[in-house]
């Protein structure tokens, strides 16, 4: 493989000049630049980014820690993060925590050892204190940690939109299936909005929680069977914290001759690719701006790396009326 000396020789310039062309650090005449670039091309020379990273103390690599890149929501978020990173000259190291504390901690350490320029934290099984010692730019997705900026959607607004929609459709007894309240994740604001909106309208309500650490459809189906089913006789509307649970409940009801939306109205959350593709039935859901959230996570992290001010960003959500309400 050609090295920088070969390029310098072919272009008839010094190694320093080749380095200047690559780094844009000093004035170089257009003719010299062209000679160097042609020599690089002729020799199929590729600058050694690892060596450059060491001398510049910048790797142009970002770590993205998420629960599961195959879950439709995170798959879409990751795609958008990577797209933005590529546009801005950064690369993404993918870390699937599978919502496992130990794995999450190992990834954090690995990313520090590899001197990534910054970390997007979209998995939240560690205690908040664990994030404070990370000595590099950090942005979180949907989690409040003092001193670390976050990108989220307006979860309170989402909870309010969903609950009001069920009430507007005539529901009197509501159930909300929420993530775990013990973790201080911003999506819990949906449950707050649900509770307050029910109270404002004198509506009976119940909130139950699922295990946040399991996010595959099989788990949701057994959760519906074991935990949700006993509630179905007592309620007429359900606000679910994601689309997979909403679909699992729909399937359970159809199988047990509970008419949807006749007897029970169901609303999901996310409007991820799965909900967008599913047409039998079209789910009523709250759409998060997933693509924009991914873009802003990446963009804000790059701003932080460049020592710019970054504030928490909260994006609006939208009700999508389908056939389940």
Contact 23, 55 (CB under 8 A): no
Beta-bridged to residue 286, according to DSSP, are 269, 319
CA distance 321 to 325: 7
Contact 207, 236 (CB under 8 A): no
In angstroms, give the least distance from the CB of 101 to a second copy.
15
Cβ neighbors of 278 (< 8 A, separation 6 or more) are 243, 247
Pairing of strands 318-320, 284-287: antiparallel
Token pair in block for residue 136: 């590099």
In angstroms, give the least distance from the CB of 201 to a second copy.
32
In angstroms, give the least distance from the CB of 71 to a second copy.
8
Q: Which is nearer to a second copy, 207 or 229 (CB)?
A: 229
Tell me which residues touch a second copy (CB under 8 A). Answer: 1, 44, 46-51, 53-54, 59, 61, 68-70, 72, 75-76, 78-79, 82-83, 86, 91-96, 103, 109-110, 112-115, 133, 135, 217, 244, 247, 251, 254, 273-274, 276-281
In angstroms, give the least distance from the CB of 29 to a second copy.
25
Q: Which is nearer to a second copy, 144 or 252 (CB)?
A: 252
Beta-bridged to residue 167, according to DSSP, are none
Cβ neighbors of 262 (< 8 A, separation 6 or more) are none
Contact 159, 193 (CB under 8 A): yes
In angstroms, give the least distance from the CB of 225 to a second copy.
14
Q: Which is nearer to a second copy, 86 or 184 (CB)?
A: 86
Beta-bridged to residue 265, according to DSSP, are 237
In angstroms, give the least distance from the CB of 75 to a second copy.
4
Q: Which is nearer to a second copy, 31 or 277 (CB)?
A: 277
Q: Which is nearer to a second copy, 115 or 234 (CB)?
A: 115
Q: Which is nearer to a second copy, 68 or 154 (CB)?
A: 68
Contact 62, 120 (CB under 8 A): yes
In angstroms, give the least distance from the CB of 126 to a second copy.
15
Q: Which is nearer to a second copy, 76 or 123 (CB)?
A: 76
Sheet strands side by side (includes 265-270):
204-209, 173-178, 237-240, 265-270, 284-287, 318-320
């Amino acid at each position: 493989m050609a090295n920088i000396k070969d390029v310098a020789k072919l272009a008839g310039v010094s190694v320093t000049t080749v380095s200047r062309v690559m780094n844009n650090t000093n004035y170089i005449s257009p003719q010299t630049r062209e000679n160097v670039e042609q020599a690089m091309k002729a020799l199929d020379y590729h600058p050694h980014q690892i060596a450059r990273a060491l001398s510049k103390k910048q790797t142009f690599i970002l770590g993205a820690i998420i629960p599961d890149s195959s879950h439709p929501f995170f798959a879409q978020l990751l795609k958008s993060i990577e797209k933005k990173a590529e546009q801005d000259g950064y690369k993404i190291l993918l870390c699937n925590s599978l919502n496992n504390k130990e794995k999450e901690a190992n990834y954090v350490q690995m990313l520090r050892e590899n001197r990534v320029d910054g970390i997007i934290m979209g998995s939240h099984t560690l205690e908040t204190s664990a994030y404070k010692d990370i000595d590099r730019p950090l942005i979180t997705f949907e989690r409040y940690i003092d001193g670390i900026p976050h990108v989220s959607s307006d979860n309170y607004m989402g909870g309010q939109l969903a609950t009001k929609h069920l009430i507007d459709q005539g529901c009197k007894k509501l159930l909300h299936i929420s993530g775990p309240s013990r973790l201080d994740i911003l999506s819990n604001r949906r449950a707050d909005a649900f509770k307050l909106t029910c109270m404002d309208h004198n509506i009976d309500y119940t909130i139950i929680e699922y295990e946040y650490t399991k996010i595959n459809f099989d788990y949701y189906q057994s959760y519906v069977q074991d935990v949700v089913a006993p509630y179905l006789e007592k309620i007429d509307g359900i606000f679910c914290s994601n689309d997979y649970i909403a679909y699992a409940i729909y399937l359970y009801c159809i199988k047990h001759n509970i008419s949807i939306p006749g007897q029970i109205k169901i609303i999901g959350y996310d409007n991820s690719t799965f909900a967008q593709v599913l047409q039998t039935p079209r789910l009523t859901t709250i759409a998060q701006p997933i693509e924009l959230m991914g873009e802003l996570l990446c963009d804000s992290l790059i701003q932080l790396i460049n020592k710019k001010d970054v504030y928490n960003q909260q994006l609006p959500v939208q009700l999508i009326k389908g056939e389940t309400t």
